[in-house]
A and B are shown apart, each in its own frame.
Chain A
Amino acid sequence: MELKRGSSSHSAYHLRPALKEGEERRTLAVLVDNESGVLARVIGLFSGRGYNIESLTVAETDHTGHRSRITVVTTGTPMVLDQIKAQLERMIPVHRVRDLTVEGPSVERELALVKVANAGDLRVEALRIRDAFRAQVVDASLESFVFELTGSPEKIDAFVDLMRPLGLVDVSRTGVAAISRGPGEM
């Protein structure tokens, strides 16, 4: 099987098309007030101004302060990427925007649940690959498995691609969560 590293042209949802000339990929962390409609505002900004969203995750991370953290992976020319940050920063419920790609090292992780339905040799092969990728089995029946895999988006792409000929049925991915390395706060 042909596999391009770091590209998702083989992945289930084509999440990461190859970058266009002059464009870069950035992971932004956006701290917002968790008020109603805040996600719609952020998404509306991206769609209204024609910015790309490769992945977007959101959840409340501070229950007492009602703050949510949005992690968005986006692409664009450096000028557009600066615009995206400035546009996010001027939204009223946005507290802080960090460019995790540019502002020092960071870790990025994504979680996927991957369902395969198969039998015989294919079942054995799926389990072997699961071992290699250190995925967990979170559900099993006589004809299926659900694997839980955490890692970089590329690792998940690769795993999903390998599962495709082995009876891949369904994939659910969380999108990227990211955080800076070292002791510093966002």
Chain B
Amino acid sequence: MTTTPKSSTMTGAEIVIKSLIDQGVEVVFGYPGGAVLPIYDELFKQNQIKHILVRHEQGATHAAEGYARSTGKPGVVLVTSGPGATNAVTGLQDALMDSIPLVCLTGQVPTFMIGNDAFQEADTIGITRPCTKHNWLVKDTDELAETMHEAFYVATSGRPGPVLIDIPKDVQFADGTYQPPRNFKPKAYQPKLKGDTADIQAAVELMEGAKKPLFYTGGGVINSGPHASTLLRDLVEATGFPITSTLMGLGAYPASGDKWLGMLGMHGTYEANWAMHDCDVMVCVGARFDDRITGRLDAFAPNSKKIHIDIDPSSINKNVRADVPIVGDVGHVLEDMIRIFRARGAKTEKTAVAKWWDQIDEWRGGKCLDFLNSETLIKPQYAVQRLADAMVKHGDYYVTTEVGQHQMWAAQYIPFDAPNRWMTSGGLGTMGYGCPAAVGVQVAHPDSLVVDVAGEASFMMTMQEMSTAIQYGLPIKIFILNNERLGMVRQWQQLLHGERYSSSYSEALPDFVKMAEAFGCVGLRCDKPGDLDGAIDEMINVDKPVIFDCLVEKHENCFPMIPSGKAHNEMLLSSSVSADNIGDAIKSDGAVLV
């Protein structure tokens, strides 16, 4: 493909490829079919863009999410019409909930057949309207280039998210004019980056007077770019305030930092949740007061003034009223905040804050993540700890997860000292996310260690992507905490449904070691605590995809836990729940909540 700086005539399919190249795209995750054959033909003729053939379109979307989350660049997906598009829906909604920039290209039946129930026709625009940030049906090849460039702008600017372009097959064949990207902005959509100085000033004043301050940070810090994480660290050091984060924000502030309280929320630490409950000034940075975080709303941080920094005005005052709302990009706002804070003399209520730290240290002393270890059985927490130690020793690691107990243990026990290293499905909670996401991460970082901390049930939802890993030589590691249970479901049934374990067994499980071998991967199994370190080292050192079947205690529960509908100070701890009282540990009034 020649590079022509000015507009020129080409086919729609050529325009698609040219736009991708001009947008700096290096990798496309996709799956071909009748309605995208012209685009696949153009992919075949060039070698600037690498195409990763997944094994299911859902895998393409999660792989693109993993790629995007670990690089900060948009992930690109290419799928066919009808079933190709519908299979991509889960990943689009996942990316929407977690604000991940994706550009999804779908083939469509030719324009003259739309609406006729043609073969593999689906109303892709209608189906994906609520699960994309925006979508477009391109009916005219002349509009294709502009739409492609607009799509990249929309996906990556403001609060990032997935977008979709539906391209009928005749539009791919027809000739049209190519326009290179220009400094393009849609007329209506112009997200605000700079925060209001007066608001930032008001926030700083609140922080100066705070006696029990707390930073509560989220995925928005990571989306704002590595610079925002650096600024966050500066601000935390400058103020000396404690910091906690949502599941999505892990790594923005280093887990090894002394101001770090651990994750907050439903399975957050005792110290983080109590600090949330008792704080007097909460500085929320790029988080959205999700129900996993707030618990019971009317008991949420009852005595606090809340500063809320978010690029999306609709996130502010949605669940919780902000006293000082600041609309803007986290990086921009933090920069101004630090400047103003310093210019005013970097004042804080030092004595009061020191007392607050004493209180926090007392909470920390409860060691809420301690668990009863066993000599004979591998406790899942222990397995994650050993994995974490080995990864830290190895260095340069990325972690993805599936969804369930193992996901929460991974969040609790694996330390992240940098952003973009932790990929998990937070908002949608999509089982099957982790394996394809690991594929996407490994494509972006071929020499790094990429581990999917998995549950056996989740892994079975998208495990066919191991075949993709083999095809492209991606040595991802699937570390299964195999409890032979839909563990998180079982935990809720134990706590909330009278221990009636309705369909929460993983029955008829495959032999994962044999399955690994059938895929061409390496299979490892471990069921003794003493063998764990050696087996983990073997997993890390082998330069091939690995499925690690770690047989763990089957009935371990994930604590701490704030049951749905409860307040932060009504947290359940492993030490307070015993075998005899577990059925009544939660009264059922929260059972209606998820």
Contacts and interface: CB of A to CB of B under 8 A. Distances in A.
B331 to A, nearest CB: 20
Contacts of A40: 126, 129
B125 interface: yes
B317 interface: yes
A92 B314 contact: no
Contacts of B312: 90
B130 interface: yes
Nearest to A41: B129
A139 B524 CA distance: 84
Contact of A92 (B159, B186, B317): B186
SS of B interface (majority) = loop
B535 interface: no
Given A82-B317, A83-B314, A44 B188 contact: no
B347 interface: no
B587 interface: no
Contacts of A82: 317
Contact of A95 (B137, B158, B187, B314): B187
Contacts of A87: 314
B313 A89 contact: yes
Interface residues of B, number: 21
Contacts of B186: 92
Nearest to A48: B130
B321 to A, nearest CB: 8
B450 interface: no
B154 interface: yes
B227 interface: no
Interface in B150-195: 154, 158-159, 186-189
Interface string B120-154: 00000110011001100100000000000000001
A58 B134 CA distance: 21
Contacts of B318: 83, 86
Contacts of A148: none
A94 interface: yes
Interface in B306-333: 312-314, 316-318, 321
Nearest to B315: A86
A94 B188 CA distance: 6
Contacts of A1: none
A90 B313 contact: yes
B314 A37 contact: no
A33 B188 contact: yes
Contacts of B154: 92
B188 A37 contact: no
A79 B318 CA distance: 7
A36 interface: yes
A95 B35 CA distance: 34
* Central interface residue in A83, A86, A92, by most chain B CB within 10 Å: A92
B317 A83 contact: yes
B162 to A, nearest CB: 13
A86 B129 contact: no
A32 B312 CA distance: 19
B206 to A, nearest CB: 22
Given A79-B317, A82-B317, A83-B314, A93 B129 contact: no
Given A86-B314, A87-B314, A92 B133 contact: yes
B470 to A, nearest CB: 40
B129 A92 contact: no
Contacts of A83: 314, 317-318
A40 B187 CA distance: 20
A2 B225 CA distance: 64
A93 B188 contact: yes
Contact of B188 (A36, A48, A79, A92): A92
B209 to A, nearest CB: 27
A92 B137 CA distance: 15
A36 B166 CA distance: 13
Interface in A18-68: 32-33, 36-37, 40-41, 44, 48
Interface string A64-76: 0000000000000
A44 B129 contact: yes
Nearest to B311: A90
A95 B186 CA distance: 10
Interface string A143-162: 00000000000000000000
Interface in B88-135: 125-126, 129-130, 133-134
Contacts of B188: 32-33, 92-95
Contacts of A93: 134, 188
Contacts of B316: 86
B134 A37 contact: no
A2 B378 CA distance: 75
Contacts of A37: 125, 129, 137
Nearest to A40: B129
A92 B134 contact: yes
Nearest to A45: B130
* Central interface residue in A36, A86, A93, by most chain B CB within 10 Å: A86
A44 B186 CA distance: 22
16 contacts: A32-B188, A36-B137, A37-B125, A37-B137, A79-B317, A83-B314, A83-B318, A86-B313, A87-B314, A89-B313, A90-B159, A90-B312, A90-B313, A91-B134, A93-B134, A95-B187
Given A87-B314, A91-B134, 5 more contacts: A37-B129, A37-B137, A79-B321, A90-B159, A92-B186
Interface of B: 125-126, 129-130, 133-134, 137, 154, 158-159, 186-189, 312-314, 316-318, 321
A-B pairs with lowest CB-CB distance, top 9:
A86-B314, A92-B134, A95-B188, A86-B313, A92-B189, A87-B314, A48-B130, A90-B314, A44-B130
